């Protein structure tokens, strides 16, 4: 304010001001913006490989949407992302960081495989049974961290993450040991499921639609749960202010368990979809999940708390997954490019967080001092924010 008066004209500057109420359109635009930013940076990487980025994107999209099968492939990838992502989003509402969807997917897959392989369920009941058992498997897997957190205060990020490895090695042990197939010629995988345990698919694609229907119902259900039910209100209270939730009398134990039953169970359903819909047997952990449980975290964060928006974000990240094959074939790029893209999306989603809480405002100002138009009355206030002496006491707490 002291020095900037060289031109003497009406000037101003951009100022960050806190936004009082986050606007839904702003949230949407900022999320879209972070996706665009991620794609721009990816474009730079394409360029470094010697491709024209726009042409590369055009080629990839063209190859994916060349026929119905490609589009179906995108949706197929979105199914586990949607189920696990909406569950993560729900848990996040209560400030429960569920990094364990990957393990919950595997647990659901194992539970369903056990039934499909070894339990003679009457044919019409087989598929519903698989989903129920898979749901319980995923829920069981998430109970351990949930109980540890509420009863002992153990950090759930660590426990959910660690439970992923337990699930991973459990699957490897099963397919190398007790469940190793007799007809697999030495490959580490189980015998195929009986045909009654195969999920129907849409036409000639691999789109196992029953799981898709479950995923869409789940997203709608969670949106309803959060906005209209007592449990949803309790979850939001717990997440926004644990102290006030305690005051309000929320039962943290019961609510956290219910929440994780739902979130873990949904991830378990995703696992059922993968083994019963695609592989039709229990295969290696990397083949079952491809990291859906981790990418689902991005689905949840990008949806910014809206279960319905997660349908869109799951489709987008499904597209990223599907583009991996195309990039390898069409552009001869490593398939890990998909991880680069989703990583960048996550990066920009987190970076753009403050943009929703603040708004940029152009503040015009006319310099005072010796200027000709030193009109005292028409100066609009734009003083610098108070120096930190006032807002931050210089004291170290012990």
Partner 1 sequence: MHGITKRFPGVIANDRVSLSVYPGEVHALLGENGAGKTTLISILYGLYQPDDGTMAIRGEPVRFYSPKDAMRAGVGLVAQHFMLARRHTVAENIALGLEPTPWWRPTRRLRHDIRDLGERYGLSVDPDATVAQLSAGEQQRVEILKALVRGADLLILDEPTSVLTPQEAERLFDVVARMRREGKAVIFITHKLGEVMAVADHITVLRRGAVVGSVSKHEASPAQLAQLMVGRAVEAARVTPRHDEREVILEVREVRATNRRGNEALKGTTLQLRQGEILGVAGVAGNGQSELIEVLTGMRQPTSGSISLDGRDVTAYNARQLFEAGVAHIPEDRNHTGVVPSLSVEENLVLRQYRYAPYTRNGLLDARAVAAFAKVSIEAYDIATPSPQTTTSLLSGGNVQKLILARELSGEPQLIVAAHPTYGLDVSATELTHRALIAQRDRGAGVLLVSEDLDELLQLCDRIAVIFNGHIMATLPADEATHERLGMLMAGMTDERTETAETEEGVVA
Sign of the torsion formed by the C-alpha atoms of 65, 68, 70 and 71: positive
Judged by CB under 8 A, the residue of 61, 117, 231, 340 near partner 1 is 231
What are the φ and ψ backbone dihedral angles of 13, each rounded to 5 degrees? Answer: -155, 165
Residue nearer to partner 1 on the CB measure, 195 or 389:
389
Hey, what are 263's tokens? 């979130």
Interatomic CA distance for residues 159 and 137, integer angstroms: 17
Residue nearer to partner 1 on the CB measure, 153 or 249:
249
Establish if 247 lies at the interface with partner 1 (CB under 8 A): yes
Task: Name which of residues 358 to 397 contact partner 1 (CB under 8 A).
Answer: 376-377, 379-381, 383-384, 386-387, 389-390, 393-397
* Among 246-254, 312-320, 331-339, 342-350, the segment contacting partner 1 (CB under 8 A): 246-254
Hey, what are 319's tokens? 């597209």
* Among 81-89, 120-128, 181-189, 237-245, the segment contacting partner 1 (CB under 8 A): 237-245
Residue nearer to partner 1 on the CB measure, 165 or 253:
253
Return the SS3 of 13: strand
Judged by CB under 8 A, the residue of 9, 17, 200, 354 near partner 1 is 17
* Among 75-83, 228-236, 281-289, 299-307, the segment contacting partner 1 (CB under 8 A): 228-236
Establish if 230 lies at the interface with partner 1 (CB under 8 A): yes
Judged by CB under 8 A, the residue of 13, 95, 151, 246 near partner 1 is 246
- The distance of closest approach from Cβ of residue 398 to partner 1 in the complex, given in angstroms and rounded to an integer, is 6
Q: Mind giving me the DSSP string for 237-251?
A: HHHH-HHHHHHHT--
- The distance of closest approach from Cβ of residue 225 to partner 1 in the complex, given in angstroms and rounded to an integer, is 10
Residue nearer to partner 1 on the CB measure, 280 or 304:
304
Between β-strands 358-365 and 11-18, what pairing exists: parallel, antiparallel or unpaired? Answer: antiparallel
Question: What are 330-338's contacts with CB under 8 Å, separation 24+?
Answer: 330/59, 330/60, 330/63, 331/46, 331/49, 331/51, 331/56, 331/59, 331/60, 333/49, 337/42, 337/45
- Segment (H or E) for 385: none
Establish if 74 lies at the interface with partner 1 (CB under 8 A): no
Residue nearer to partner 1 on the CB measure, 187 or 224:
224
Interatomic CA distance for residues 18 and 255, integer angstroms: 33
Alpha-carbon separation of residue 350 from 182, 261, 345, 357, 373 (angstroms): 48, 27, 9, 13, 45
- The distance of closest approach from Cβ of residue 63 to partner 1 in the complex, given in angstroms and rounded to an integer, is 44
Establish if 21 lies at the interface with partner 1 (CB under 8 A): yes
Interface contacts to partner 1, rule CB under 8 A = 1-2, 17, 20-21, 228-233, 236-237, 240-241, 243-249, 251, 376-377, 379-381, 383-384, 386-387, 389-390, 393-398
């Amino acid at each position: 304010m002291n020095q900037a008066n060289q031109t003497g004209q009406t000037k101003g500057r951009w100022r960050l001001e806190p936004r009082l109420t986050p606007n839904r359109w702003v949230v949407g635009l900022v999320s879209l913006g972070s996706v665009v930013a991620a794609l721009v940076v990816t474009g730079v990487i394409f360029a470094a490989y010697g491709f024209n980025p726009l042409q590369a994107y055009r080629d990839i999209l063209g190859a994916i949407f060349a026929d119905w099968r490609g589009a179906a492939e995108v949706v197929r990838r979105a199914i586990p992302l949607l189920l696990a992502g909406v569950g993560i989003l729900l848990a996040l509402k209560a400030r429960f960081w569920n990094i364990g969807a990957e393990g919950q997917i595997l647990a659901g897959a194992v539970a369903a495989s056990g039934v499909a392989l070894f339990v003679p369920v009457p044919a019409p009941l087989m598929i519903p049974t698989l989903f129920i058992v898979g749901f319980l498997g995923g829920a069981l897997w998430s109970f351990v961290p949930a109980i540890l957190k509420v009863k002992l205060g153990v950090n759930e990020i660590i426990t959910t993450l660690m439970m992923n490895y337990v699930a991973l090695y459990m699957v490897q042990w099963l397919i190398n040991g007790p469940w190793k197939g007799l007809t697999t010629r030495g490959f580490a995988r189980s015998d195929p499921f009986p045909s009654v345990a195969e999920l129907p698919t849409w036409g000639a694609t691999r789109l196992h639609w029953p799981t898709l229907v479950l995923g869409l119902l789940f997203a709608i259900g969670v949106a309803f749960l959060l906005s209209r039910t007592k449990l949803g209100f309790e979850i939001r209270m717990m997440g926004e202010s644990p102290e006030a939730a305690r005051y309000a009398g929320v039962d943290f134990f019961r609510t956290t368990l219910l929440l994780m039953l739902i979130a873990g169970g949904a991830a378990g359903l995703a696992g059922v979809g993968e083994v019963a819909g695609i592989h039709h047997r229990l295969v290696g952990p990397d083949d079952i999940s491809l990291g859906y449980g981790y990418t689902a975290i991005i689905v949840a964060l990008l949806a910014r708390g809206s279960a319905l928006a997660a349908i869109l974000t799951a489709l987008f990240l499904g597209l990223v997954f599907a583009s991996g094959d195309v990039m390898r074939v069409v552009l001869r790029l490593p398939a890990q490019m998909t991880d680069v893209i989703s990583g960048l999306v996550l990066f920009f989603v987190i970076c753009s967080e403050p943009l929703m809480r603040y708004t940029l405002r152009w503040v015009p100002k006319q310099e005072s001092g010796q200027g000709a138009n030193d009109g005292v009355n028409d100066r609009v206030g734009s003083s610098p924010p108070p120096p930190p002496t006032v807002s931050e006491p210089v004291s170290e707490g012990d």
